[in-house]
Amino acid sequence: MSRRRLSDRQRERIHAIQEKRRQQMTAQAEAALSGAEEAPDEPREGRVVARHGRNLVVDDGAGGLIHCLFRQNLGDLVCGDRVVWQPTGGGEGVVSALLARATVLARPDYSGREKPLATNIDQLVIVIAPEPEPSGFLVDQYLVTAETIGVAPVLAINKADLLQGEALAGFFHRFAHYRAIGYPLILVSARSEHGLDPLLAQLSGRTNILVGQSGVGKSSLVQALLPDQQIQIGRLSGATGFGRHTTSTATCYRLPAGAS
């Protein structure tokens, strides 16, 4: 069945609604910023750990999550950004400046413009698995991306428990040439005892992002690495007041051993 096309009038109505919402968010940000300029508290630094529209969740570095708004002239603020923010009271604030980015992971949008997805990443974890069949071309693309943006890549063979003996050794050997040229190659399993230990050791002390084909088990790894994920999601949602759907975009979680 073909999809129903929108009429010109319907498109105009949708555009008008979107523009009204944008103006409302801009007015809220400006009002909050005006309050921040009059506030006695000094500006502080923090890290963006989630974004939903014009709403940011900023980690204040002391264990607190602050709901902040920001002006449009700051550009695209994304997960990982280091920012300067001003408290406005009630656990809320306004972001007034974007600090320099050490690394930027981006991709082209529909117009061809580079759109940042996450920033200040230390390590790109490329997840592959026996199923689905790995794409060497895609792995090479990720490695080129890591080298281009200046982050350390690591290849993680997930679902290692699906293979045994010679089959596992053979699969590992298929990617041994990456290890030979200096890229870490580790075996990971979210289902076997201590199967996450090699990955946890690799993530320690770094800000990481997991990439890979659909179906390689990235979500399962995240769930295994974050036994308190629902608690962290609840804290993030509570900070914005927008409910649990706020975590549908990129989100930065805290991991043991100073990792994220």
What is d(CA 69, CA 54) in angstroms, rounded to the nearest whole number? 6
- Assigned superfamily of 121-246: P-loop containing nucleotide triphosphate hydrolases (3.40.50.300)
Residue 26: what pLDDT? Answer: 61
- pLDDT 10s digits, 154-211: 999 999 888 888 998 999 999 999 999 999 999 998 887 788 999 999 999 999 999 9
Residue 44: what pLDDT? Answer: 93
76, with CB counted inside 10 A (0-12, 13-18, 19+), is middle
Place of tokens 């009429």: 7
- pLDDT 10s digits, 33-43: 665 555 557 88
Q: Is it true that the peptide bond before 184 is cis, omega within 30 degrees of 0?
A: no
Residue 8: what pLDDT? Answer: 73
Per the model's pLDDT, the better-predicted residue between 16 and 87 turns out to be 87
What is d(CA 31, CA 187) in angstroms, rounded to the nearest whole number? 51
At 93 the three-state DSSP class reads strand
CA angle 140, 143, 149 (to 5 degrees): 140
Residue 16: what pLDDT? Answer: 73
Model confidence at 61: pLDDT above 50: yes
Mean pLDDT of 4-8: 67
Residues in CB range of 131: below 8 A, 6 or more apart? 159, 162, 215
Query: Per DSSP, what are the bridge partners of residue 94?
Result: 69, 86
AA letter at 50 = A
Model confidence at 243: pLDDT above 80: no
Of 40, 117, 55, which Cα lies nearest the Cα of 81?
Answer: 117
Residues in CB range of 169: below 8 A, 6 or more apart? none
Dihedral (Cα; 187, 220, 161, 140), 10-degree rounding: -40
pTM over 0.85: no
Mean pLDDT of 85-103: 91
- Here the tokens at position 54 are 């014009």
Place of tokens 């204040």: 60
Residue 126: what pLDDT? Answer: 97
- pLDDT 10s digits, 244-256: 444 446 788 888 7
- pLDDT 10s digits, 129-150: 999 999 999 999 999 999 999 9
Mean pLDDT of 99-121: 90
pLDDT band at 239 (very low <50, low <70, confident <90, very high): low
What region does 53 belong to: left with phi over 0, alpha with psi -120 to 50, or beta?
A: left
**What residues does each domain of the chain span?**
8-98, 121-246
Handedness of CA 13, 15, 19, 25 (dihedral sign): positive
- The CATH classification number of 8-98 equals 2.40.50.140
